[in-house]
Structure 1
């Protein structure tokens, strides 16, 4: 199969590969065999950078025998802003979710009691807690968090 893409679409793919790479590898040390196929595909697309007119955004390291995004790519691409937005939203969602879970376990007398609830019942009990935390964090951020 052959896929024809424009120069602009290729640039978008570079952003997508950077976003994917961040999600797959940001918190890992070393290579992960589970993500090897994605890395190979990324390298394949990076190898076309020069032909697509983006040799200034992707460079080849002869010692490591791999392609890498350049500093110019990092400085001119919007992928980093998209990742930052995602991580910020995820932080607040996860914080609220975990606090709600903690409070609900305490309120209902343990995990077992929550596991015995039907979906609707659990949702009805979670909703006011979620609203409470969402309202607090929207108004004050982390200002009132204490340990």
Structure 2
């Protein structure tokens, strides 16, 4: 198998570390068993941390024979990227699911793909719901 070699400066390497950490976290966060392909790449990337002077951000866990991010650095990445992503995704998915529910109430079973009329109505509903949720948050939502 042909090998690929990358040359990058320390800042680019740090961005790669962050990208690999966040990607691996996303892939594995919902699984009971880790995706070994992603874990292998994560380990390969993190193992070069000393070459880039990232001893304050990455460490070697001898007991488990793996490299890992320092807890403060990991926390910082979650605060900078994951929290914002989850907040955005929550509202986006909520609007999507609520608009789908309303479409089904109006049209019955939905065709795949949606007709032009249904797509226009869905966008209209999503805009209405977005404005409502932006103005009032979830205070008007009810479970029946």
TM-score normalised over the length of structure 1: 0.85
**Per the alignment, in what secondary structure is the counterpart of residue 122 of structure 1?**
helix
User: Which whole-Å CA distance do the structure 1 matches of 2:123 and 2:5 have between them?
Assistant: 49
Deviations 1:31-54 (A, max 9, x none): 2xxx32221111011000012101
Deviations 1:75-104 (A, max 9, x none): 5x4453212111111111100110011111
The structure-2 alpha-carbon separation of the partners of 1:74 and 1:65, relative to structure 1 and needing over 3 Å to count, comes to: same
What number of residue pairs does the alignment pair up?
A: 140
**Per the alignment, in what secondary structure is the counterpart of residue 41 of structure 2?**
helix
In the alignment, which residue of structure 2 is the partner of 1:70? Answer: 70
In the alignment, which residue of structure 1 is the partner of 2:47? Answer: 47
> Which aligned segments of 4 or more residues in structure 1 are displaced greater than 4 angstroms?
none
In the alignment, which residue of structure 1 is the partner of 2:119? Answer: 123
In the alignment, which residue of structure 1 is the partner of 2:33? Answer: 30
Structure 1 unaligned residues grouped into runs of 5+? none
Q: Cα RMSD (Å) of the superposition?
A: 1.8
User: Which whole-Å CA distance do the structure 2 matches of 1:116 and 1:61 have between them?
Assistant: 50
Structure 2 unaligned residues grouped into runs of 5+? none
